[in-house]
Amino acid sequence: MMFPIEHFLYLGALLFSIGLVVVITKKNMIMVLLGIELMLNASNLNLVAFNQLYPEGINGQMFALFVIIVAVCEAAVGLAIVIQVYHYYHTSVPGEVNDLSD
Amino acid sequence: MNLTSILFYAFEALAALSSIALIFVRNVFHGALLLITCLLALAGIYIIAFAEFVAVTQILVYAGGILVVIIFGIMLTTKLAGKPLMIEHIYGFSGTLAGILFFALFVYYISTESFKSGPSTAGSLTEINTIGVGLMTEFVLPFEVAGILLLIALIGAAIIASSTNAKKT
């Protein structure tokens, strides 16, 4: 059976909004990365949900897979940068990283 | 109200509740666990939405890859060993306002738009060999570009994380 697509879309909207709130309000770079992951997954949910309407094609699922791949790259490089910034500045608060060179 | 709808709305409630709790959590480690809970619930929703390969990829990549990397990151950026990393919130009012406004905008547009109803016949799971053939024929260019992107990200992350120079204060 197939569920109404609005139920998927409302959950996607909620997840995206919460990801935005997390990115803005958290005072730690790793939490900011978690918020970005949440926003990417909200878009993935919409892609998979709309793919249900066209079961003869797999475009939505393919796009969701490539979004997952890009999310992995973003998490790896982002965490490498976070660790390096922590070694350099001894902090993981984004607002305290405020000079470009020493 | 059959079993599938009970599971679907249970997964939706789990995803929504764990992501709402992510706003209020102060411990970064608990935040990572809440995010993984939310992503696994999303994998369950993908299975109900007839996208089993995306669901399996989600579980493998997030629970097996990103969770481990994030927990390594949390451990490597904690000042005091043995004490949990507690964080504070900034811009609470403006962040909440932005979130509520975005959510209201989305809800307004979703509720006013009338979407095409699905096919009358019951949907079926996408077969994995359909996805495999698609990856090798129609989607071969993004597949190769994704491979190059993963290689670049691997080399870049290794180089960024290997060079160590502390700030001279």
Residue with the two structure tokens 């306002």: B97
**Given a cut of 80, is residue A27 above it in pLDDT?**
yes
For B57-85, b where at least 16 C-beta lie within 10 A, e where not — what string?
A: bbbebbeeebbebbbebbeebbeeeeeeb
Q: Which residues of A touch B70 (CB under 8 A)?
A: 30, 33-34, 75, 79
Mean pLDDT (whole number) for B135-158: 93
Q: What is the CATH number of domain B3-110?
A: 1.20.120.1200
- Does residue A96 belong to the interface with chain B, where contact is any CB pair within 8 Å? no
Residue with the two structure tokens 């697509």: A5
Rounded CA separation B47/B55 (Å): 6
Q: Chain-centre distance of CA B112, in angstroms?
A: 27
Rounded CA separation B5/B48 (Å): 9
Give the pLDDT score at B151. 95
Residue with the two structure tokens 């490498």: A80
- Which residues neighbour A12 within 8 Å (Cβ) at sequence distance 6 or greater? A42, A43, A45, A46, A49
Quick count: other Cβ atoms within 10 Å of Cβ B116? 9
- Token output for A21: 């709130």
**Given a cut of 80, is residue A32 above it in pLDDT?**
yes
Rounded CA separation A59/A63 (Å): 6
- Does residue B112 belong to the interface with chain A, where contact is any CB pair within 8 Å? no
In B36-95, the residues whose Cβ lies within 8 Å of chain A are 38-39, 42, 45-46, 48-51, 53-54, 57-58, 61, 65-66, 69-70, 72-74, 76-77, 79, 85, 87-92, 94-95
pLDDT tens for each residue of A50-87: 988 887 888 899 999 999 999 999 999 998 988 888 88
- Please report which confidence band the pLDDT of residue A89 belongs to, taking 50, 70 and 90 as the band edges: confident
C-alpha triplet B114, B58, B45: angle, nearest 5°: 40
Mean pLDDT (whole number) for B98-121: 84
Residue A56 DSSP SS3: coil
Fold adopted by A5-93: Helix Hairpins (1.10.287)
Virtual torsion, Cα A45, A46, A49, A54, nearest 10 deg: -140
